[in-house]
Amino acid sequence: MIKVYTSSVIDASADAVWAHIRDFNGLPKWHPAIVESRVEGDWPSDRVGCIRNFQLRDGGTVREQLLTLSDYDYQCTYSILESPMGVDNYTSTLKLTPVTDGNRTFAEWSAEFDTPPGQERKLADSIGQGVFQTGFDSLKSYFGHR
């Protein structure tokens, strides 16, 4: 099992950042790698168990299922059901913590998954930097230019 962890500080309140990302179907609004997304079966995008189906900018399709969502803890957990990345048993958590000094947000994004032998480092870097850090950079840019 591979573990990936990425963290960042965003210059906005946790309430503001959470309002922006809690919509499980809202990735195209804040992550540059996502072109479009839809929730299958007309489920609400904040209902645990819903499945988002989204298109990557490079043409790939990913299906993910929302496992937990807590407005109190500013946290959600999801799993990948289908993906072109070559990962199995993928579970990821996105968590925000208020930073009271300066009204900022400490953001953490972590994942655990299995991968074919020899692909560990490549996939860990791709997910940690290409997915998680890219998303944080986009959020920092969004809140920094308001």
Tell me phi and psi for residue 98, to 5 degrees: -65, 135
Show the low-confidence residues of the chain (pLDDT under 70).
145-146
Please indicate, yes or no, whether the overall pTM of this predicted structure exceeds 0.75: yes
> Which helix (H) or strand (E) element contains residue 56?
strand 51-56
